A and B are shown apart, each in its own frame.
Chain A
Amino acid sequence: MPEETAVGCARPTGGPVGEESDNKSTDEKQTRKEVESMIKVGQKAPDFAAPGYQKGEFINIKLSNYLGKWVLLCFYPGDFTFV
């Protein structure tokens, strides 16, 4: 029987189908978490390049292209979601 869960996203459970998840993956996850956020107010924002969509065109953007302008960078959970 499928378990009823809140609306969410697909994610690996940490092990092969039908087997218990092994602890190694949790360890790996902890190590990966060490790559912490680099954000501090009053300091430079981390630069990035990202593909995107704007007004009928697929585009590529670099944050550094916007030097000289004010930027509002917004993250959100996903397209077609509510709120």
Chain B
Amino acid sequence: MSIDSMFTHKMWDDDELSKMVDGGVPFPMLSDAGGKVGTVYGVYDEDNGVEARGRFIIDPDGIVQGYEVLTPPVGRNINETFRQLQAFQLVRETKGGEATPSGWRSGKATLKPGIDLVGKVWKEWKVEQAFD
């Protein structure tokens, strides 16, 4: 979503993005002319009339699980977004029975929150795992 019109989105997809992605962008490119949606999401820069690089993970109940907002010159890390999405999906599938510690990636060990884990995280998780 950006402040550009849907016509500009079409031109950008036709003229440039379809040269990077076969068949063009598969997901909806939304228009927020005036920045009204961006304002409620806290990403609209009124002085410059543009939106910051905001990224929101919204779960199937419509709940915001996480977000990240960057100023325009720095791009995102898509792998980190997917990592977070997989972590939130795992927590949801296990109905909160499992949690993902720092450095978790898909396939790595999770923690099982509960009274047995209090004071024992040091046995289950090592600091190096945060940097894997």
Contact = CB atoms under 8 A, between A and B. Distances in A.
Q: Determine the interface band of chain A, counting residues with CB < 8 A from chain B.
A: 35 or more
Nearest to A41: B64
B9 A79 contact: yes
Contacts of B73: 83
A50 B34 CA distance: 12
Main secondary structure of the interface of B (DSSP, over half): mixed
Contacts of A10: 49
Given A43-B63, A53-B28, A76 B57 contact: no
Interface in A61-83: 61, 63-64, 66-81, 83
B6 A9 contact: no
A53 B72 contact: no
Interface in A31-62: 32-33, 35-48, 50-55, 58-59, 61
A24 interface: no
Interface of A: 8-11, 29, 32-33, 35-48, 50-55, 58-59, 61, 63-64, 66-81, 83
